[in-house]
A and B are shown apart, each in its own frame.
Chain A
Amino acid sequence: MKLTMKNLFLPIFFFSSLLVLTSCKRELDLYPSDSISEEKAFRNLDDIQKGTNGAYGLFSWKNVMYLNALLSDEVRIGPGNAGQGSFTFRFQYGADATTGEDVTSVFIDMYTMIDQVNRVLGAIEKIGFSEEEQNQVNRIKAQLLTLRAVGHFEVLKLYAKKYDAGEPLGVSYMLKSDLYAQQPRETVSRTLELIEADFNAAEALFNAAGAQTFSDTVINPVNLAGFRARVALYKHDWANAVKYAGDVIAANVKSLATGNSFKAIWTDAGTAETLFRIRYTNRPDIGELWTTQSGANIYFSPSNKLLYSYDFVNDIRFWSYFDYDNNGDFYINKFFESSRGGRVVDAKVMRIAEMYLIRAEANAQIGTNAALQLAADDLNLLRSKRIAGYTNEPFAGKDELLDAILFERFLELPFEGFRFDDIKRNGLSVERDEDDVDSPNWRTLPASNFRMVLPLPLRETQANKRTEQNFGYIKN
């Protein structure tokens, strides 16, 4: 009995041990059930679409609007301000998280969106799509590439010096998602090359995918041309700025609005002029940017400089963009009233009016007589839509016309995310009116001041050893 037990038991024991141990290796292959692992996250077209939706959700235009207003002459400190945005408005910002929270936000927002884009683009490469899906895949890729280019462009505008083809410090260009990336900054011309490369690829993909109906909530060939016009204008490529802005206008999906249909743009009751919107379904992110939801506290008021620039009797923009409360304090009404209630409004990233202004500016820069005439026509057309009883104005030469166009941008596009950049790219200084500031210390920001270029977040220069901080700001 002893022997049989021994003979039997040992083999059985070691066999079962072996069995247990080999199966144990498998036992360790567990996967999360409550979150989606990388392989499962993107498996088909539907997932890719969801990832792309995520990229739109991360495209935060809000801080672009906020910074362009606070850093310029569009606003002054409101009566209900308890310190909001004061470091920014007073030009006292640095790279640290306390004083630089506002000014570093667009950098963080845009690279977060770019990372999402790169994750989805990376996933697309790993999925085999059917023939029927290919057009839709191409459209999605085109959207993502456009978002990537636009994201980098927004960073370039704020975090690099005013455009100069020879400027060495552009921005880091991310072409793939890499958690531990130590990406150096490209030169400005290289950054712009990469932006154009993404635009070209997007355009080719849209062309390959064939015709599509226009929607102002996604990237499509029309607003892609609009973004290209912006970039062309930025890099003094006047011919292309005229071409792309002209393409958008010629596409005829939106036209300059008047009367109630213009007013309806700002309450989301209508979308007469919008070419691209970031939607908010239930959060008052945009509606609360300048004033609390109840209207009780005005953080930032429209500047007197701006208010007094309008013909408030005849210019429809005045009472569309501004209003005053029970105390007689003016507040920014653009993006405040909502047809949906609760200050829930969309961010208007691009409107047709801007395209007219881009084309006018680029034509004015070209400066031939024919071009100047085209520029004057565009400007007069826009004004005629805005100002009751407007009669076309003649312009004496290029400089006067350029000044008029810049001023018109001031009147047409306030709080939409352009003003600081308009000042900067024209090599001007920020000049506020005396009664728009409580101290002369922050009345002007000279064009030569280092704060014209915003700081990279401190945590970026701390974590990314290969990047370079902008002049004047701390690195670590």
Chain B
Amino acid sequence: MGTIVFCATSFGQSRTVEGRVIDESGAPVPGSSVRSATGNYGTAADFNGNFTIVVSTDVKKLLISAVGFLSEEIIIPASNRVTVVLKLSGTEMEQVVVTGYSKLRRSEFAGTSTKVLSDKIEHVPMGSFDQILQGRIPGMTVLSTSGQPGSEASITIRGVSSISSSSDPLFVIDGVPVESGIFQAINPNDIASVDVLRDAVATALYGSRGAAGVIVVTTKRGTGGKAKLTYNGQFGTTFRPKSGYDMMDAQELLLAQEAYGKMLPGTTADQLPGWFLSKNHPSYATSSPEVQARKDFLYDSLLNNNTNWDEMIFRDGSFRNHEISLSGGSGKTRFYSSLGYYNEEGIIHRSDMKRFSFRNNIDYNDDRLSFALSSLIGYTKRNFQETDESAVLGNPFLDVRITPSYISPYNPDGSFAVGNPAYYAAPNQLDFMTYNKVYNDQVKVLLGTNVLYNLTPEIYAGAQAGVDFRETQNTVFWPAESWYARSSSNVRVKSGGLSEGLTRRLGLNGRVFAGYKKKFGAHDLDLSVHGELNKRFQKSFGFTGYGLDPKTPNTPAAITPGDASNQLYVSTTGSKSSNALSSLFGIGKYSFRDKYSFNLSYRYDGSSSLPEKNRFQSFYAIGAGWDLLKEGFMPKPNWLDMLRLRASYGESANANNFSIGNFGYLSTYRQGTYSGLTTIIPNTPGNADANWEYTAVSNIGLDFALLKNRLYGDFNIYDKRTKGLYVEQQLSVIGGGAFESIESNAGRMRNRGVELSLNAVPVKTADLSWSLYFNGAINNNKVTDLGGVQSYEYGTSLVTVGLPLGSHWENGWAGVDAATGKPLYYTKDGKITDQAHVDDRVQTWGTSEPKYTGGFGSDLRYKGLSVSAFFTFIAETYKYNNLEYFMENTGFLSQGFNQAKNFKFWQKPGDQVNYQNPAYENVFSSKYIQDASFLRLRNIMVAYDLPSSWLEKTRVFSALRIYVTGQNLLCWTNWKGYDPEESSNYSLDSYPSSRVFTAGLSVTF
């Protein structure tokens, strides 16, 4: 056993306590933390659950805790030998809820939060930890915006709560609020737990920032005791999901073009090779034999090309992850240090992410002072497909589908068969991916320090400081030999170019606090006051230079200086901005025998982004918990172990997601030109009444455990109302001048829903354990007021009072008239018409905001072997399938694009088809609105831990685990695009989530 270093000489005599930590089934609980109740002595149990700790003779009690178990406090017996039996923390009631400002036992917490522990996060092969949370938290929708390695997810907690701003939750890592959406530098394997705070008691702590929910991340801390070195290595492959559209091969497309050409003689259809070169074309018969032979030859060569563009553009990428972590400590100090290297290749060429992350967490505790330092430095480099979220020809995910299979990727000389007509999209893309580079380098630094000093047992004070620093350098490079350069008519673009953009973001956070805590009798009270300041600075600049020297192309040094003759002037851009939030707040907690508990918070926030008259606002929340079974008058049936009722109400706002920007309240000007002269003209109207969007949440919850804690969970019902939503208020032309509208706080929205989380442990013995878990939520979103108007157009959708946000607005598709092939639509009144008139658009097609979300899974362990599977689902979400508009559309067939195999358009009277006569234009209609519900096998893992009896013999290893994982292996959905997870109302052929298969090895020395 390890040596215990202690420094308790001033406390006199010491004694050595030996012991073993086991669970109720008798199995050892390795890694359990063993700490003294007073003084500061600590160690960790070894792989067999054994520990030895040297403590001062003053120490009477030991605290033993382990993840997933109830903590135990034991009195040290005279024998100095103990066996501690830890109970499974089935009810999770002894879990600690980390709110970022305080830590509370769940039994004294009246809010709603869910904790995800590291075992569900580790070894999931995804670069951004937010993606890993999909389906883990009831009421939290996590959608992958893009499958590019390292991309962030789109996260919505309890429904969207803003129209024009984002509904991103606030992220707090080790007490420091961090920029949301950019997590590529954070190693998910460093995370110990994630607490997702959803109701007012939890989020009002964050006052003006908490309305969209708060995600509190706690990273791993040192376990104390002898340093443990762990190596983890993981290798795998990423591969693409299936597309719902099988594309025509060369022959099918040529025949489709012929059929199309026959229907529309004398039009541009005559230029389609399938028709133009066909033997059935009227001109063929009258052509000379030489011309006929030439046409036949061309036709055959097109047929022979039959390129599979999927194979050309997609690939199977490799996945590698290596990590070394060291955890330990001596005496009062503990540390955790980890070094990680992550390398994921995407499923398409030129998309990958490399990450180097280095985390160091240090904790110091004595009987008065505790100090924690958390630090991360991360470097990432990502190669991108930068146009993956738009329906344009630069999007490779669109290109692979629409490029005709009869085009060859290469010219006879081996170069890419690039070309100008749009149907050369895929070869152009291949050229683009080969020659051009689009990547970013990012350095991220996260620093957090926390000091807590207990002046007396009752009075404490402390301070916290945090830094969230990021510098991202975006590079776009294209050499003169690239098709991108060659096809441009711009003299500067033609000469090859390099564009560099640097963005620096610095977030500073400081807080001081003091509090009073006291236990007297059955009462437990904790009150604290805090002062906090958050500042954020953002600065960016960039340049684009041209005329790259081909000898040293991808460097700023290759740029040719611009002059009047070469016109290669370098262009520059830049911006900077900042905001600040200052707050004074109080938090209170009172509980009585854990039977009644009350949580209170009051916060006074000031934001630099608001006009002075609205700058400071107060927020409060109140919550109460009542443990019914602790009530004497309550009958306590045998099968029921715990029943706790919670209720809370409070208000918060969305300061992190201001749609009006940092200075939207100010009227500003900018410079322009008129006739070569400088002008000063209005830039922003400035809403002098700008305010926050306020969200009030009422929540009633029930925590329960039954059947000896074998079945437990919680249920919540909430009503979340947002007022003062930013909506576009039309301005009079006479008054507004250059401004048509102004964003003003006039709207209201409501989200109502229920959440259920259920866990079952049917079997739990020393050798065999089996658990099942489920969580699900139903959310109903509704816009309740838009400041006087019934609806207004917002982007491509219509926001309407009484309907959920994101409700589609489209003409109803009534099929194809079998007699004429005309497309038919429904009018507003349900009649059938052949005109899609804008006045007949209705909003009965559902919304993209999902109604049902959740996840479920099961963990099974037999001795060292464990198997787990985890599924996620989303149901009742409707999205516009823009890809289908391209895939099954005569308009695009006529432009020479490839089409889906099942595209059978109307050709003659009597055809019963769903695709119209090509003589009629395809327009957007409800036909393209599709159900994007899905059920996904999110993650599956099989692991084997080598028996400790074997490992002991090696005298080298203390733990060794081998495992295999599969990510996104299966997906059941009616959605026909690549991925039902696209986060917007429209599908824009985003980079789909990869399927990943990995194998790994984890060794602890």
Within 8 A of A (CB), among B8-26: none
Q: Tell me, in angstroms, the Cα distance from A2 to B533 when the chains sit together.
A: 30
Question: Is A5 close to B, CB under 8 A?
Answer: yes
B615: which A residues are within 8 A, CB to CB?
Answer: 28
A181 touches B732 (CB 8 A): yes
User: Across the interface, which residues of B come within 8 angstroms of A25, CB to CB?
Assistant: 582, 606
Answer yes or no: B557 CB below 8 A from chain A CBs: no
Count contacts on B: residues with CB < 8 A to the other chain. Answer: 59
1/0 per residue A303-318: CB within 8 Å of B? 0000000000000000
Q: Assess the B579–A30 pair: CB atoms within 8 A.
A: yes
| 16 A–B contacts, CB within 8 A, in A order | A13-B512, A28-B606, A32-B662, A36-B680, A37-B669, A54-B674, A58-B681, A58-B738, A107-B733, A115-B735, A115-B738, A183-B732, A279-B676, A280-B675, A460-B733, A467-B732
Write the chain B residue with the least CB distance to A180: B735
CB of B668 closer than 8 Å to a CB of A: yes
Given A20-B533, A36-B683 in contact, is the A6-B455 Cβ separation under 8 Å? yes
By the criterion CB–CB under 8 Å, are B680 and A47 in contact? yes
Q: Assess whether A324 is interfacial by the CB under 8 Å rule.
A: no
| Interface-located stretch among B417-425, B570-578, B893-901 | B570-578
Question: When the two chains form their complex, are residues A53 and B663 in contact, meaning their CB atoms are under 8 A apart?
Answer: no
Q: Which chain B residues in 530-580 approach chain A with CB under 8 Å?
A: 531, 533, 535, 575-580
Task: Choose one: A30, A35, A53; the contact of B670 (CB below 8 Å).
Answer: A35
The answer to whether A464 and B732 have CB atoms under 8 Å apart is yes
Binding site for A on B (CB under 8 A): 453, 455-456, 459, 461, 510, 512, 514, 531, 533, 535, 575-582, 584, 606-608, 615, 662-663, 666-686, 730-740, 742
Which residues of A are found within 8 Å of B577, using beta-carbon distances? 32-34
Whether A462 contacts B730 by the Cβ 8 Å rule is yes
> Given the complex of chains A and B, what is the CA–CA distance between A180 and B579 in angstroms?
27
Task: Check B512 against A17 for contact (C-beta < 8 Å).
Answer: yes
B residues near A462, Cβ cutoff 8 Å: 730
Chain A, 246-261, CB within 8 A of any chain B CB: none
Q: Residues of A contacting B737 with CB < 8 Å? A: 111-112, 114-116, 177, 179
Give the complex CA separation of A30 and B759 in angstroms: 50
Contact pick for A457, options B667, B671, B733, CB 8 Å: B733
Interface 1/0 per residue, A124-161 and B, CB below 8 Å: 00000000000000000000000000000000000000
Closest-CB distance, B791 to chain A (whole angstroms): 13
CB < 8 Å A-B pair total? 191
Q: In the complex the two chains form, is A463's CB within 8 Å of B531's CB? A: no
A459 to B681, alpha carbons, bound, how many Å? Answer: 23
Residues of B within 8 A of A5 (CB): 455
Q: A10-B455, A30-B580 are in contact. Are A179 and B734 (CB under 8 A)?
A: no
Q: Which residues of A contact B683 (CB under 8 A)?
A: 35-36
Rank and list the top 8 A-B pairs by shortest CB-CB distance, nearest first.
Answer: A115-B737, A181-B735, A57-B674, A24-B582, A54-B679, A279-B675, A464-B732, A35-B668
CB distance from A475 to the nearest CB of B (A): 13
Q: Mark A36-55, 1 if CB is under 8 A from B, else 0.
A: 11100110000100110110
Rounded to whole angstroms, the CA-CA distance of A322 and B804 in the bound complex is 58
> Please, how many angstroms separate the alpha-carbon atoms of A106 and B634 in the complex?
78
Nearest-CB residue, chain A, relative to B684: A35
Chain A residues with Cβ below 8 Å from B581 are: 28
- Cβ-closest chain B residue relative to A56: B674
CB of B582 within 8 A of CB of A183, answer no
CB atoms of B680 and A54 under 8 A apart? yes
Which chain B residue lies CB-closest to A172?
Answer: B734
A178 interfacial by beta-carbon distance below 8 Å: yes
A393 within 8 Å of B (CB atoms): no
Minimum CB–CB distance for B277 against chain A, Å: 31
Are B734 and A183 in touch, CB under 8 angstroms? yes
The answer on a CB contact under 8 Å between B461 and A50 is no
- Which residues from chain A contact B671 at a C-beta distance below 8 Å? 36, 50
Q: Do B680 and A174 touch across chains, with their CB atoms under 8 A apart?
A: no
Cβ–Cβ contact A38 & B679, under 8 A:
no
Q: Chain B residues near A51 (CB, 8 Å)?
A: 679-681
Q: Which residue of A lies closest to B461 (CB)?
A: A13
Check if B677 sits within 8 Å of A53, measured CB to CB.
yes
Cβ B682 vs Cβ A119 within 8 A: yes
Q: List residues of chain A with CB within 8 A of the CB of B730.
A: 459, 462-463
Chain A residues with CB below 8 A from B578, complex form: 30
Judge if A428 is at the interface, Cβ distance under 8 Å.
no
How far apart sit A31 and B667, CA to CA, in the bound complex (Å)? 11
Neighbouring A residues of B456 by C-beta, 8 Å: 2, 6
Assess the A54–B672 pair: CB atoms within 8 A: yes
Chain B positions within 8 Å of A208 at CB level = none
Asked if B663 and A182 make an inter-chain contact with CB atoms under 8 angstroms apart, the answer reads no
B667 touches A38 (CB 8 A): yes
Q: Which residues of A contact B667 (CB under 8 A)?
A: 37-38, 179
One of A16, A27, A115, A279 near B674 (C-beta < 8 A): A279
Q: Give the shortest distance, in Å, between B743 (CB) and chain A (any CB).
A: 12
Chain A residues near B672 (CB-CB < 8 A): 54, 57
How far is the CB of B739 from the nearest CB of chain A, in Å? 7
Q: Which of A408-449 contact B (CB under 8 A)?
A: none
User: Which listed residue (B666, B734, B742) contacts A181, Cβ 8 A?
Assistant: B734
In the complex formed, the residue of A with least CB distance to B661 is: A32
8 extra A-B contacts, CB within 8 A, seeds A112-B733, A280-B675: A13-B512, A13-B514, A24-B606, A27-B533, A29-B608, A42-B680, A115-B736, A177-B737
In the complex with contacts A181-B735, A281-B675, A28-B607 CB distance below 8 A: yes
> How far does the alpha carbon of A279 sit from the alpha carbon of B663 in the complex, in Å?
34
CB distance from B513 to the nearest CB of A (A): 8
CA distance A36 to B663 in the complex (A): 11
Known contacts A36-B670, A38-B668; is-contact A50 B679 (Cβ 8 Å): yes
State whether A38 and B666 are in contact (beta carbons under 8 Å apart), knowing that A13-B514, A28-B615, A33-B576 are contacts in the complex: yes
Tell me if B733 and A108 are in contact (CB < 8 A): yes
- Is A450 at the interface (CB under 8 A from chain B)? no
A50–B575 CA distance with the chains assembled, in angstroms: 22
User: Given the known A-B contacts A33-B577, A35-B684, A38-B668, are A180 and B674 also in contact in the complex, defined by CB atoms under 8 Å?
Assistant: no
Most chain B CB inside 10 Å of its own CB: which residue of A25, A50, A172, A179: A179
Given contacts A24-B606, A28-B580, A31-B663, contact A179 B668 (CB under 8 A): no
Chain B residues with Cβ below 8 Å from A172 are: 734
A217→B677 CA distance, assembly (Å) = 12
Q: Is A165 an interface residue (CB 8 A)?
A: no
Partner of B734, one of A36, A58, A460: A460
- Which residues from B are CB-within-8-Å of A388? none
- In the bound complex, residues from chain A placing their C-beta under 8 Å from that of B742 are 179
Who on chain B is nearest to A110 by CB?
B733
User: Which residue, B455, B672, B682, has most C-beta atoms of chain A within 10 A?
Assistant: B682
Nearest Cβ on chain A to B692's Cβ, whole angstroms? 14
Contact partner of A32 (CB less than 8 A), chosen from B668, B675, B678, B738, is B668
In the complex, chain B residues whose CB is within 8 Å of the CB of A108: 733
**Which chain B residue lies CB-closest to A113?**
B737
Assess whether B736 is in contact with A179, with CB atoms less than 8 Å apart: yes
How close is A126's CB to chain B, nearest CB, in angstroms?
A: 14
With A and B bound together, what is the CA distance between A34 and B669 in angstroms?
10
Given known A35-B669, A183-B735, contact A459–B679 (CB-CB < 8 A): no
